[in-house]
A and B are shown apart, each in its own frame.
Chain A
Amino acid sequence: MKSLYQNYFKKNDNSDPILKTLKNVPIFENLSDKELSDVARLTHERTYKKDEHVFKKLAPAEGMYVILDGEVKITDSDSDTIFATLGSGDFFGELALLDEEPRSASAIATLPARLIGFFRTDLLTLMKRSPELGNKILLNLSRVLGERLRRTNQELAKPSQ
């Protein structure tokens, strides 16, 4: 009954680290405090040990992760290329919110890490329960992906050296 209490009697706690972190993620931009706490209620907080895989390349993909604290590297285990090293407040794996393609790279915790998982099934539930909020998130997600596409195009347009 704890969540019943939280739902109706307890005021939104802005000092909640999950809410604070989610607020700064572009995908959850422009959400009201109430909406943000609705999203937070659907997310899953997970802890990972150092060197533990968050997911492996080609594994079935179900959703995105936001780093609460710790460090995660995105890497291609076949070629040992490190694409990015991400820290607190960063997010990865958001493409999986939209399609069911397998992971294109591996994610490994390089330090003990606490992550917030937001999965496709949660997004689908949210779209059913609160379509307005679901649409906001989808629009933000499209913005993030569009921005990334634009950047890739610019990279490609650069004359090769």
Chain B
Amino acid sequence: MGFADFFRKKASGSIAKDRLKLVLVSDRANCSPEIMEQMKNDIIEVISKYMEIDMEGMDIKISQTDMEDGSGTSGPAIFANIPIREMRGKKRSE
């Protein structure tokens, strides 16, 4: 590695590998944008029963996570970042 590279954040080879891993996770999940949108709407519907969420700020994506089976491998996972505006404190109907 050259002297100038030392100051760079990350070499492009590693960036390529990380980007590829991410894009392939969603490619392989075979999840079309339409299905993702439907899923997102369903999730909004369920959570909205209990609390008010910030729809603009929410983000749902398929990415990967370390498996918890101790194998050290990673697998696909759904990540949902859903900001809460207000806890409604709705009482659940009994």
Answer whether A and B are interacting partners: no
Give B contacts to A, CB under 8 Å.
Answer: none
